[in-house]
Amino acid sequence: MRVCVYCGASPGNDPRYAATARAFGAALARAGFGVVYGGGRVGLMGALADGALEAGGEVIGIIPRFLEEREVAHRGVDLHVVQSMHERKALMAEYADAFVALPGGFGTFEEFFEIVTWVQLGLADAPCVLANLDGYFDALLALIDGGRAKGFISAGNRAIVEAFPTIELVLARLTELRAQDGASL
């Protein structure tokens, strides 16, 4: 089972974010999960990949050519350089069985919500999990719940987005899903 992790190309302003990304990459690898991510070696992306690689994990990076230089592509991973963001997201979805968002900015939000929308429309069937570290996604979850309360998001579609406050709980959920669904996940 491979997990696509969306996260920042920036480290943020708290070093705990990068430390947590590195720890999450290592934990995924130790648990036997492959990592699919945006292909950078900087910010949370780089920390995630480095953690997984150090733990002996499979790491697939997918980066558009125009970001290859800006995000300093990680040469230690199974790197796929594609032509566009659309191609990047499609290939990430093809390679991954589950999707997790760590803290990040607009790109993280956009990529996570695109896969949530694909699940909603039946174009994908995969868990979509927010790692709500230190309440990072609280405002986003409130927005989603507001959409639900106002009748724009059905209860079934609201259930697509799961959130857990620690990487340990995210990992436990992924492990539970793998056990439930076996290799089909």
SS3 173: helix
Q: Is there a domain that residue 94 lies in?
A: yes
pLDDT at 173 over 80: yes
| Residue range of the domain that includes 12 | 2-177
Average pLDDT over residues 54-79: 90
142 Cβ contact partners less than 8 Å away, ≥ 6 residues apart: none
SS3 29: helix
Both structure tokens of 141 = 């979850």
- What pLDDT shows up at residue 136? 97
Q: Is there a domain that residue 184 lies in?
A: no
- What pLDDT shows up at residue 185? 46
- What pLDDT shows up at residue 71? 62
CATH number at residue 99: 3.40.50.450
Average pLDDT over residues 64-74: 83
Q: Is there a domain that residue 182 lies in?
A: no
pLDDT at 183 over 90: no
Q: Is there a domain that residue 119 lies in?
A: yes
Q: Is there a domain that residue 185 lies in?
A: no
Q: Is there a domain that residue 104 lies in?
A: yes
The predicted model scores a pTM of 0.94
Find how far residue 176's CA is from the centre of its chain: 17
DSSP string, 34-98: EEEE--BSSHHHHHHHHHHHHTT--EEEEEEHHHHTTTTB-TTSEEEEESSHHHHHHHHHHH-SE
Q: Is there a domain that residue 93 lies in?
A: yes
pLDDT at 5 over 80: yes
Average pLDDT over residues 79-98: 96
Task: Report the distance separating Cα 86 and Cα 79, nearest Å.
Answer: 17
Report how many domains make up the chain: 1
pLDDT tens column, 14-30: 999 999 999 999 999 99
Q: Is there a domain that residue 183 lies in?
A: no
